[in-house]
Amino acid sequence: MKRYRKIAAWLMICAMLAANISGCGFSEDEYKIVFTTGFKHDEVFRIETSVCTIQELMTYLVNTQNGYESTFGAGIWDVQTEDSTVGARLKESVLAKVAQVKAMNLLAAQMEISLTDEEIQKADSAAAEYYATLSPQDIDAMHGATQDTIAQIYSEYALAEKLYDYIIRDINPEISDDEARTITVEQIMLKTYSLDASGEKVPYKEAAKGTVLAKMRSIKNQLIDGASFEELMDTYNEADERTLSFGKGIMPENYEKAAFNLGNGEVSSIVEIPDGYCIIKCISTFNRDETEYNKVKIVAQRKREVFGQQYDDFVATLTKELNQELWDSIEVTSYEGEKTSSLWEVFNKSFGEKR
């Protein structure tokens, strides 16, 4: 059950972010301006003049579904989340992803960005390769998707990636060690809150906070007298983590200021943070592996911000319509036989993996 909860939580995030291309949030709620008239029988939604058919949506859905089933089993889809099921969350995440691709294609057209003949040929060849791997059961689950359906999906996805690359083209990927510097610390933390019956934090009254501070001062005095930080950490630390690695802008301001001013092996004074009091010991003022990883995260965040500024303004102008009746009829159900999940594996082989 624990693993089901983890994947359910991940799918909730996906439903809100649709992050596979750009990482820029585009919630499914933005599409649910619902008009159920004027649709053809196989049209799930429209964004302006761009239409998504049931065949397209189910191709995305079936591949994502089968990928998760290979790890978590077919029973995952009926697992309850807070207000729904994992299967329902998967539907929402796929809707958000496909709608984002459609919207990005509209923006590409406005910016006069298009695929070259060579790129179109790549999409067609990849579609033929992928379609040849499908079983009759796969095609049935995709509501009769054809090779042309796959070619359209690949072409639209390739154009969305081309648009994204164009918009973020001027971002400098070089991040200095100082900007991305990641340090590693150990901590002793005492909480100044309790949890109510629903799991919400309830801050201590001033008197109770004073008691916690007095205890933390006692711990600090023991350190001054030569006690082992690690032994005191084993005894008193109330935080979930003992050791943390982080860069700038991650931790509370007071915590970060104290931590980044420490040298290797140095111990801070008592630091007040929103949830309690801390004493911090610096293990390393520069974690090379974490710093390099942080550089990647900083660049990715800048790309999301630059892309998001232009994309979000454009999306706000679009008319979105959902065929509610057809949407409600879609169910996440497992099927027998060899199951496809290689839609994006074949795409990446032809266009290069960027996702």
Spatial neighbors of 260 by CB under 8 A, at least 6 apart, are 183, 248
Q: In this structure, which long-range contacts are made by residues 263-267, counting pairs with CB atoms below 8 Å and at least 24 apart in sequence?
A: 267/223, 267/229
- Helices 54-72 + 2-17 axis angle, to 10: 150
Query: CA torsion 172→176→179→182, rounded to 10°?
Result: 120
Q: Are 66 and 336 in contact (CB under 8 A)?
A: no
> Which residues neighbour 200 within 8 Å (Cβ) at sequence distance 6 or greater?
none
What's the pLDDT score for residue 299?
A: 87
| pLDDT at residue 37, rounded to an integer | 61
* Nearest residue to 249 (alpha-carbon basis) of 281, 210, 294, 219: 294
pLDDT at 354: 63
Q: Which two tokens stand for residue 94?
A: 């796929």
Residue-wise pLDDT tens digits, 20-73: 444 333 344 444 444 456 799 999 999 999 999 999 999 999 999 999 999 999
Look at residue 173 in the predicted model and tell me its pLDDT.
81
Return the axis-axis angle of helices 147-167 and 288-315, rounded to nearest 10°.
110
Residues in the chain: 355
With a cut of 50, list the residues of the chain below it in pLDDT.
1-35, 355
The pLDDT, as a whole number, for residue 332 is 94
pTM, two decimal places: 0.70
Predicted pLDDT of residue 203: 95
Which residue segments constitute the domains of the chain, with CATH numbers given?
2-172+296-351 (1.10.4030), 183-285 (3.10.50.40)
Write the DSSP symbol of residue 139. H
Residues forming a β-bridge with 246:
183
Return the pLDDT at 175: 85
> What DSSP letter does each residue of 218-265 carry, written as one string?
HHHHHHHTT--HHHHHHHH--SS-SEEEE-TTSS-HHHHHHHHTPPTT
What gap in Å lies between CA 133 and CA 351, rounded to an integer?
A: 19
